[in-house]
Every structure is written in structure tokens, then in C-alpha cells.
Structure 1
Amino acid sequence: MDLKNEDFTQHKHISQQFNTELLELKNHFLVMGGLVEQQVSDAVRALMNGDSGVAEEVRLRDREVDKLEMTIDEECVQVIARRQPAARDLRLVVSVAKMVNDLERIGDEAKKIAKIAINLAEEGQPPRGYVEVRHIANHVAQMVHQALNCFARLDAEMAVEIMREDYSVDSEYKSAMRSLVTFMMEDPRSISRILSVMWVLRALERIGDHARNLAEHVIYMVKGKDVRHTPMEKVEATVAGD
């Protein structure tokens, strides 16, 4: 993601070094986000194409994501210890410290999909349910992309849209699971392979949940309100209010 300094600039600090540290923290977060976003895309592509090589690359790339998580965690600690940020800056650092956990979890879910892709590729013919997988995968991938964009832009309105999308993903997930249960009842020989697809769908649904979590943290950064476990109408009112 190509970012300019002004994307993040809300106000200047007396210490130019503090500005630099905050910018580096945000940029490192987006680098990690880009890696995770690519993991999701590649894991689904590996599944659809029966490509074990791409799936293995996803699994190996998870180590890089884990290293970035540790780097960002340390940067957050150092900023708090050295700069003692307040108000909006403190919300930023605290939120990033939490958001990297969601990014790491998204990477873990992508790694699960890659592992299943390898197993299914070895078995040969793809099972039923790939249409549902592709549809939900496209949906959650877009959510992750939008979550990174709304962080880069500090866009609370976009964050609300992502939260709304999570409800749609949940509905699609439930519908897909019902269809797969029907497939298994029609052909008991397919149970094992369809169960694998169900695990893929579950991983995708969890990715959508983590994208929603990212959006909630963006709202906290911008509005100073913790909207976790809050009804959607109250979230919308929070973001719409001055």
C-alpha cells in the first residue's frame, strides 16, 4: 500500500523524532497487513487451484508475519515508555498493539486454509462447496483490504461499513454450511472432504470477524469510544456524532 506522510498527519509534535516513531509504527503495521492480506489471497488461490506449492509458501510466510508482530509490539512498548503519549496518540499506540494480534490471527487462519489446501490437493478431485468458498473468500478479503485502508485514512465511516459487512458474511457462512450438510446427506462418501471445506469456511468467517475487530479499533482511535460489544445502531450514532 502506497502511503504518504500526510495520510497519517493529524497534528505535529514538538519532537520530530516522536513524529517519525509514530509514522514508522503505522507503516510497519500496514506492511504486516499487506503480508496478511496476501496470505489470505494466496491460500484461497492454492485451494481453488489445488496448488500445494503456493499453499506451502503461505505457511512459510507466516513466520515473517510473526516476526513483524513481535517487532511492532516492541515498538509500541518503546513509544509508551519513551514518549508517554496522551489522548489521540495514546489511543493510536494502544490500538495498534491490539490490532497486530488480529492481523496475526488472520495470518493463522490463512495458514489453516493452506494446510487444508495441501491435503485436498493430494486427494485429487475438489469436493463440493468451492463456489461457496470463493464467494465468501472474496467478501472477507475485501473486508481486510478495507480495514487496512480505513486505518491508513483514519476513516471511521468506512469502519462502520466493514462492521455491517460482517453481518452479511455471517449470514453467507450459515447458508453455505447448511448447503454442505445437505451435500453430505446426499453423498455420505463425501463427508470427509466436505468437512475439510467446512473448516475452510469457518476460517474465512473468523477472518471476517478479525476484520471487524480492526474496524472497531479504528473507530476507537478516531472517536475515542470503545464500540466493542455495542449494538450496530449505537455504533452508527457514535460515528455520526460530533
Structure 2
Amino acid sequence: MSVDMNTDLNQHISQQFNTELEELRSQLLAMGGAVEKQVSDAIDSLIDADSELALSVRAKDDDVNFMEVSIDEEASRILARRQPAASDLRLVIACTKASTDLERIGDEAAKIARFSMELAENGESPRGYIEARHIGTHVRKMVQDALNAFARFDADMALAVAQEDKSVDREYRSAMRELVTYMMEDPRSITRVLNIMWVLRSLERIGDHARNIAEYVIYLVKGTDVRHIGLKKMKAEVFERSPSDA
């Protein structure tokens, strides 16, 4: 009985390649889990005035940075050795871009932790904690859903995350207006309220990065770049377009 060595070799290479791609995706999701916990702990450290928890959030930033570098290195090896095309190439690109946004989410969580430490040490802000808790819960869910969408290749869930970013922006603007008004009425509170405003700014940016990750999921699944096109066109891409090379 003859054996087709070329077929066996191609199957082996294909299986190895699939393993490498799955490992890359697993690394990204592991990084996402670490960053998601960073965000959750940063918010809790603020609300509970827990400086020890805030310190742990800041300490974990180096771990997240290392994960980003590892993902970039693995992606570079895959690109050099495999020269992937079509959906495989989109997966590699999406992983590298998403890891950058996850690293930036980690940076914002570390900033929140730093401000929570200052507030715990120098006196809590008289206003803004309710808004921080509410917006924090919202963006934490966005990050979680964006990662779930990546894990499941779920463009519908990714679209929902992108749509939620508008709600976060509205909540952020409303909270900032209220805090500015309060500072004008009580100038003695300015320093402490400003710290809360910086926290809210970091939370709003976390929402932006979660939306970016959601957009990479749509690119991965649908094969089209939906950045900067607006929600209406993004929705049309999710429900109408199919990737021609998947």
C-alpha cells in the first residue's frame, strides 16, 4: 500500500499551525482575564478605600506588559514561519491589536489604583463615588463581553459592546458636568474631586479600548475593517457582509 508523504506532511503542518494559532488566542484571552481582574480590583480599591488592593493592581501592571510582549513575539514568529492568509492572518492581526488595547486598559486600571490611594490617604472626595461605581460596572461588563466575543468569534456580541460605548460616553459627560458644578460651589473640594474626575476619565478610556477590541472581533469574523465608520454602518457590516476569503 502506497503512502502519500506530501499529504501526511501537509496535514502535520496544518495541525501544528492550528495549534500555534489556538495558543496565540489562548494567550490573548489569558491576558484579558488578568486585565479584567485589574479593572475590577481598581474599582473596588476606590470604593472601599483599600490601599493594599490598589497596590496589588499597580504591581500587576508589569505582568500585563510581559503578556503583551509575549503575544507580539508569538505573532511575529507565526507571520515569519507560516505566512498566513485570509482568516488566519486576520486572527494574528486581531490578537496583536487587541493585546495593545488590553495593555492600555491595564494602564488605566493602574491609574485608577493610584488615585484611589491618594484619596484614601489624603481624604475622600465628597462627590463622585456613585458615578464611579456605576460607570465602572458598565465598562467592566464591556471588557468582559468584548473578551467573550473574541473567545466565541461572536460579531453580534461585539456589536453590542461597541454600541454600549455611546452610553458610557453619555454617563461620563453627565458625571463630569455635575462634578464641575460642585467644585464651583465648593472650591475647597477641588483637589479631591479632581482625583475622582481623573478616575472617571480612565473608566471612559477603558470603555473606548473595549470598543476597539469589539471592532477587531468584527474584523476577524466578517473580514472588514469597521473602525471609524460609525455604528450604523458597523451594524450593516455585521448583519449583511460575509468575508469573501474565510
Whether TM-score is above 0.5 comes out as yes
Task: Calculate the aligned-residue CA RMSD, in Å.
Answer: 1.1
Q: Which amino acid aligns with 2:165?
A: D
Divergent runs of 4+, >4 A = none
Q: Which amino acid aligns with 2:43?
A: V
Q: Which residue of 2 aligns with 1:74?
A: 73
Q: Which residue of 2 aligns with 1:37?
A: 36
Q: CA deviation at 1:118?
A: 0.7
Aligned residues: 231
Q: Which residue of 2 aligns with 1:23?
A: 22
Q: Which amino acid aligns with 1:214?
A: I
Q: Distance in 1 between matches of 2:124 and 2:116?
A: 12
Q: Distance in 2 between matches of 1:89 and 1:125?
A: 50
1:87 partnered with 2:77:
no
1:57 partnered with 2:56:
yes
What CA deviation, in whole Å up to 9, does each residue of 1:22-57 have, x standing for no partner?
111010000000000000000010011111100000
Indicate the larger mover: 121-130 or 34-43: 121-130
Q: Which residue of 1 aligns with 2:134?
A: 135
Aligned 1:151-230 pairs, distance under 5 A: 151-230=150-229
Q: Which amino acid aligns with 1:33?
A: G
Question: Structure 2: 5+ residue runs without aligned partners?
Answer: 1-10
Give yes or no for contact 2:126–2:189 (8 Å, CA) kept in 1. Answer: yes
Q: CA deviation at 1:157?
A: 0.6
What CA deviation, in whole Å up to 9, does each residue of 1:70-110 have, x standing for no partner?
00000000011111111000000011111110000000000
Q: Distance in 1 between matches of 2:126 and 2:219?
A: 42
Q: Which residue of 1 aligns with 2:121?
A: 122
Q: CA deviation at 1:14?
A: 5.3
Question: Structure 1: 5+ residue runs without aligned partners?
Answer: 1-11
| Bigger Rg over Cα | 2
1:235 partnered with 2:234:
yes
Q: CA deviation at 1:182?
A: 1.3
Q: CA deviation at 1:126?
A: 4.0
Give yes or no for contact 1:13–1:19 (8 Å, CA) kept in 2. Answer: no
Q: Distance in 2 between matches of 1:167 and 1:13?
A: 46
Q: Distance in 1 between matches of 2:27 and 2:106?
A: 16
Q: Distance in 1 between matches of 2:12 and 2:236?
A: 31
Q: Distance in 2 between matches of 1:214 and 1:237?
A: 18
Q: Distance in 2 between matches of 1:20 and 1:105?
A: 28
Report the identity percentage: 61
Q: CA deviation at 1:13?
A: 8.1
**With structure 1 as the length reference, what TM-score do the two structures score?**
0.93
**With structure 2 as the length reference, what TM-score do the two structures score?**
0.92
Q: CA deviation at 1:204?
A: 0.2
Q: CA deviation at 1:69?
A: 0.4
What SS is found at the alignment partner of 2:126? coil
